[in-house]
Amino acid sequence: MEYKVVDTQISPEGRLDVLSKAEVHKLLDNSHGGLHAVFRNCSLAVLNCGNYLDDGKELLERYASFDISIIERERGIKLDIKGAPASAFVDDRMIKGIHEHLFAVLRDVLFISDEINGNVNFDLDSSTGITDAVFHILRNAGVLRPMTNPNLVVCWGGHSISLNEYDYSKKVGYELGLRTMDICTGCGPGAMKGPMKGATIGHAKQRIGNGRYLGISEPGIIAAESPNPIVNDLVILPDIEKRLEAFVRVGHGIVVFPGGAGTAEEILYILGILLHPDNAEIPYPLVFTGPQTSADYFRQIDAFIGLTLGPDAQRRYKIIVDDPVAVAKEMQAGIRQVREFRKERADAYYFNWTLKIDPEFQRPFAPTHENMRSLKLHKNQPAHLLAADLRRAFSGVVAGNVKDQGIRAIEKHGHFEIHGDPEIMEPMDALLSAFVEQHRMKLPGSKYVPCYRIIK
């Protein structure tokens, strides 16, 4: 099947008007140390906005002729784009939001390469160094806003959800927007788009003209979760671990909607952090919610958490079913506590420095077959460290489901094998099997072939 494509050239509008010769060279460099591949792939994902496709490998193959390069002119640079999805254009002009997202990709790819990687000022082997790097990436992107009260709600949930669940996520977003709260998501479709869409109406009714719809992604996932058109601030972090840290550092509370393996990964990440003894007294509102039809889903999630991480983990969240108003009020009350806590300790409202994140949640995890087999999935360890390896297990499933490299690894070497104690493996197998049965692993209409094998 052929897909309509467009060739064009675009200029920056007030951002990155000029680049150095070295930066241009890196962006055109297709070698191992160059930036062309990551810049090209992230740019294609941005240009594919609205064409929901949760398979990074298929997107790259569908638009195999796509390319993007830099043209240096006397008055500045232009992006030369070949073979872009035609849906990114209206009357032969690129949609403005997509135009902005393209230059956000350029900004973050260059900043991470120039200022973070290899910079002696950032020790990426230390916990504080990683947190400092996340802070600088977010600050460079202009999303850390001082002199504002806490009001940013992170919304997590699946890209492959039912229409009923999607409509519910919009209702929650609407109630949050009415209460002047802004929205941050993983920037893709489904439960990442719904809360933003609902919040736009709530903000409009309250005559809020500067509502924030922050999308945070990373190169491995963006091709499978193209930024939705509502995102007005897009940030690309270098890997999934820094992306997750960015969520919990900038957000003031988290709402979790139904989802699949990626949502389970996010849940395990935040619970693992909140279970760390140093974070016991830190307020961080966490709500799991969905329509009545999703009640069984949250019972399964709650049971899995209880069987693996225990009752202390279950006490760190509240489940609210089919009540968007109650969710918004719970967030509002929780964020009020966050504000008072940070005010007492002179901690920034815009970046949660106090939160302790164990290095096990920060070190990049490569989901290779060997690494997946080597995960420590046993109960003879602190709960927050078990959560770290459970998070890695689900991260590997996500990679094998939707990420280009993960899909290719599965095609070449077969299923990931996940080993562990039976009292952990059996609940995990049951949860993943439920995700498959409920069509939460892939978009509707896509046949799902498991990329993993649970070894009990």
Write down the pTM of the prediction. 0.92
Structure tokens at 428: 């995990």
Query: Average pLDDT over the chain, rounded to whole?
Result: 91
Q: In which band, very low, low, confident or very high, does the pLDDT at 14 lie, cut at 50, 70 and 90?
A: low
For residue 366, the one-letter residue type is: A
- Residue 145 CB-half CA count within 13 A: 13
pLDDT of residue 24: 86
Q: What is the assigned CATH class of domain 120-456? A: alpha beta
Q: Say which CATH topology domain 5-117 has.
A: MCP/YpsA-like (3.30.1850)
Question: What is the C-alpha radius of gyration for the chain, rounded to an integer number of angstroms?
Answer: 21
User: What is the distance between the alpha carbons of residues 336 and 284, in angstroms, rounded to a whole number?
Assistant: 10
β-partners of residue 183 are 153, 213
User: What is the distance between the alpha carbons of residues 183 and 428, in angstroms, rounded to a whole number?
Assistant: 30
Q: Which residues contact 438 (CB under 8 A, 6 or more apart)?
A: 297
pLDDT above 70 for 285: yes
- Could you report the per-residue pLDDT of 127-137, keeping only the tens digit for each? 999 999 999 99
What's 152-183 look like in SS3? EEEEECCCCCCHHHHHHHHHHHHHHHHCCCEE
Of the candidate ranges 124-138, 173-187, 391-405, the one whose mean pLDDT is the lowest:
391-405
Q: In which band, very low, low, confident or very high, does the pLDDT at 446 lie, cut at 50, 70 and 90?
A: low
pLDDT of residue 221: 83
CATH 3.30.1850.10 domain extents, the chain: 5-117
Q: What is the DSSP letter of 277?
A: G
pLDDT above 70 for 208: yes
Mean pLDDT of 185-197: 94
Report which of 221, 96, 225, 115 is spatially closest to residue 160, judged by C-alpha positions. Answer: 225
pLDDT above 70 for 52: no
What's the distance, CA 31 to chain centroid?
27
Mean pLDDT of 107-112: 94
The torsion angle over the Cα atoms of residues 264, 159, 136 and 100, rounded to 10 degrees, is 180
Among 64-68, 135-139, 434-438, which range has the highest average pLDDT? Answer: 135-139
Q: In which band, very low, low, confident or very high, does the pLDDT at 442 lie, cut at 50, 70 and 90?
A: low
Listing DSSP states for 93-105 in one string gives EE-HHHHHHHHHH
Q: In which band, very low, low, confident or very high, does the pLDDT at 444 lie, cut at 50, 70 and 90?
A: low
pLDDT of residue 436: 82
